[in-house]
Amino acid sequence: MAAKEKYAEPTYLECGFGELEYKVISPEACCRCGTCEAFCPRIEHKENKPTLVDYDPLCGLCFAYCPRTFLDMGEMEAKLFGRTRNADETLGIYKKAVSAQAQARQEKAQDGGVATALLVQALQSGMIDCAVVTGRDEEWRTVASVATTAEEIKAAAGTKYTISNSVVAVKEALDRGFQKIGFVGTPCQIQALRKVQLLEEPYELGQKKIALLVGLFCMENFEYDELMQGLVKAKFGLDPKDVSRFEIKKGMFRVIDKNGAAHEVKIEETDAFTFKGCGPCFDFASELADVSVGSVGSGEGWSTVITRTEAGDKLYASALAAGAMQEKAVSEKGLALAKRLAVGKEQRFVSKSQEMNVSGIKR
């Protein structure tokens, strides 16, 4: 018997970095999630993009797991949930949608501080033994890290609003020997890690050790240099180090400085700073996460929480039972707003995919 008949071969053998570069990186469809950099030792992040730094064996790994080469949402839903979403399930398949607030909310936490509270609860309950989180430096540059204590998770609280290749830190967690890895990130990052978990390829990357995915709501993200130079500095006269927090409220993009003063523009005025790779993305509410968290749909100081899988539902219930959070019903008006944004992002996905000639992503 020939070796290739005895042992499974990757489906995308001979689709190497050249194909990834041609189809995704060069046309700027890359979402910079960091997945190819995390799982291939020959790819590194250079000049703000994935770059091949060694011989390419054409194994197909980078091409297979990139969420922009191809993505069949229906197939992934069927594997994860046992069915595909119905036409009226605009926010994806889920078990429960509520408004929630962390009882011990961190000062720099976003909205209700729920994502932080859920990760801390997962760590303290033993559901995970580490969490990959995205923090920042004093200049608001994102820094992905492996958190092993509640204090380290809390230190990374707050939305950063700029692109980060956070999945690279999953590799760090695997290399350090962690067995139950939690991850919090944007929809494209969640798509990538679910693809790593669910795609039936004979690569052993430690994907079974990814135990929890907490997804964030995301309409779009921003380029660091463009946002900081074009808006924060040019429009508001602030240096990045003078910024206390960013937030999007009632159609306005707001920058709060360290004196507490708010500087704001209409969200439409930030289009020039939007990351181009966000265009071919239809997912507003991190539909493939175990649990999704965002501000849209809930009042000031509260987060909208959507539990999707058994793991996500169990974690949320345990956080409530432990007194880490309180909840209330999400309003129909709030949920309707989240659904409208989800539909709007899906419509933008269609037009941007045509404009950027992206054809492998199936909603």
Q: Which of 235, 253, 273 is the last residue of a domain?
A: 273
In a domain, 309, yes or no: yes
Do 176 and 133 fall into the same domain? yes
Q: How confident is the model at residue 169 (pLDDT cuts 50, 70, 90)?
A: very high
Do 92 and 187 fall into the same domain? yes
**41-94 pLDDT, tens digit each:** 999 999 999 999 999 999 999 999 999 999 999 999 999 999 999 999 999 999
In a domain, 4, yes or no: no
Identify the pLDDT of residue 302: 95
Domain that holds residue 324: 12-221+275-357
Do 204 and 261 fall into the same domain? no
In a domain, 1, yes or no: no
Do 180 and 53 fall into the same domain? yes
Instruction: Please say if the pLDDT value at position 4 is more than 60.
Output: no
Identify the pLDDT of residue 6: 66
In a domain, 363, yes or no: no
Identify the pLDDT of residue 155: 95
**152-166 pLDDT, tens digit each:** 999 999 889 999 999
Identify the pLDDT of residue 37: 97
**293-307 pLDDT, tens digit each:** 999 999 999 999 999
Do 229 and 338 fall into the same domain? no
In a domain, 94, yes or no: yes
Do 230 and 204 fall into the same domain? no
Do 253 and 309 fall into the same domain? no
Instruction: Please say if the pLDDT value at position 186 is more than 90.
Output: yes
Identify the pLDDT of residue 270: 92
Mean pLDDT of 300-320: 97
Do 265 and 321 fall into the same domain? no
Q: How confident is the model at residue 320 (pLDDT cuts 50, 70, 90)?
A: very high
Do 64 and 183 fall into the same domain? yes
Identify the pLDDT of residue 8: 82
Do 96 and 139 fall into the same domain? yes
pTM of the shown model: 0.95
**6-17 pLDDT, tens digit each:** 678 899 999 999
**89-115 pLDDT, tens digit each:** 999 999 999 999 999 766 666 678 999
Mean pLDDT of 333-356: 96
In a domain, 6, yes or no: no
CATH number at residue 241: 3.10.450.750
Instruction: Please say if the pLDDT value at position 32 is more than 50.
Output: yes
Mean pLDDT of 336-343: 96
Mean pLDDT of 28-49: 96
Do 77 and 111 fall into the same domain? yes
Mean of all residue pLDDT scores within the chain: 94
Instruction: Please say if the pLDDT value at position 175 is more than 90.
Output: yes
In a domain, 3, yes or no: no
Give the per-residue SS3 of the chain.
CCHHHHCCCCCCCCCCHHHHHHHHHCCCCCCCCCHHHHHCCCEEEECCEEEECCCCCCCCHHHHHCCCCCEEHHHHHHHHHCCCCCCCCCCCCCCEEEEEEECCCCCCCCCCCHHHHHHHHHHHHCCCCEEEEEEECCCCCEEEEEECCHHHHHHCCCCCCECCCCCHHHHHHHHCCCCCEEEEECHHHHHHHHHHHHCCCCCCCCHHHEEEEEEECCCCCECHHHHHHHHHHCCCCCCHHHEEEEEEECCEEEEEECCCCEEEEEHHHHHHHECHHHCCCCCCCCCCCCEEEECCCCCCCCEEEEECCHHHHHHHHHHHHCCCEEEEECCHHHHHHHHHHHHHHHHHHHHHHHHHCCCCEEC
Mean pLDDT of 134-160: 95
In a domain, 7, yes or no: no
Instruction: Please say if the pLDDT value at position 1 is more than 80.
Output: no
Do 256 and 323 fall into the same domain? no
User: In the chain, how many domains are there?
Assistant: 2
Q: How confident is the model at residue 250 (pLDDT cuts 50, 70, 90)?
A: confident
Mean pLDDT of 224-236: 94
